[in-house]
């Protein structure tokens, strides 16, 4: 309903047309990121203030990096993110249950996640980048 909202919509649907219209794509993206970061910061501060009334250690839950990994695994697709998040939650919960049942150390859950994530990362390196082997000639 606002000019800025229209510009963001135009950038999202067709960046080339937005550029031809004279819309500053980089400026609008940075402003949108700043605004969303500010809203998230405000929500986080309200959550902290409502629950503990002060900043305590471990209040974040450590979900930020997990969210980044989920978004990367889903290819930044919102619908795929839901599926990947459920799979990661099952993996985390299963690792916790495995630790309890087999009396394993807490770090085994992270090892299990690493065993899933490292092959995915390695696979994406080979699919997204061309690797060239350089052979050295004998002297």
Distance CA 77, CA 87 (A): 15
Written as six digits, the tokens of 35 are 């605004």
What's the whole-model pTM score?
A: 0.54
Instruction: Flag whether pLDDT at 59 surpasses 70.
Output: no
* Cβ-Cβ contacts under 8 Å for 92 (sequence gap 6 or more): 109, 113
Distance CA 46, CA 55 (A): 11
**Cα torsion at 109, 110, 111, 114 (round to 10°)?**
130
pLDDT tens-digit map of 106-132 = 788 788 888 888 888 888 777 777 767
Cα-atom radius of gyration of the chain, to the nearest Å? 22
pLDDT tens-digit map of 83-100 = 999 998 888 888 888 888
**Residue 26: φ, ψ to 5°:** -60, -45
Q: Which residue has the higher pLDDT, 52 or 37?
A: 37
* Cβ-Cβ contacts under 8 Å for 52 (sequence gap 6 or more): 59
| Domain boundaries of the chain, sorted by first residue | 3-51, 63-128
Average pLDDT over all residues of the chain: 83
**Cα torsion at 25, 30, 32, 33 (round to 10°)?**
140
How far is the CA of 128 from the CAs of 66, 114, 120, 123, in angstroms? Answer: 22, 21, 12, 9
Distance CA 82, CA 109 (A): 21
């Amino acid at each position: 309903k606002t000019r800025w909202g229209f510009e963001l919509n135009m950038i999202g649907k067709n960046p080339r047309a937005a550029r031809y219209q004279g819309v500053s794509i980089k400026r609008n993206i940075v402003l949108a990121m700043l605004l969303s970061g500010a809203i998230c910061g405000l929500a986080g501060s309200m959550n902290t203030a409502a629950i503990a009334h002060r900043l305590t250690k471990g209040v974040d839950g450590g979900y930020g990096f997990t969210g980044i990994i989920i978004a990367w695994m889903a290819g930044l697709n919102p619908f795929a993110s839901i599926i990947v998040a459920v799979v990661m939650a099952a993996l985390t919960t299963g690792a916790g249950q495995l630790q309890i049942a087999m009396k394993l150390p807490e770090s085994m859950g992270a090892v299990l996640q690493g065993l899933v994530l490292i092959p995915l990362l390695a696979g994406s390196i080979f699919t997204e980048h061309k690797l060239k082997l350089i052979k050295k000639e004998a002297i």
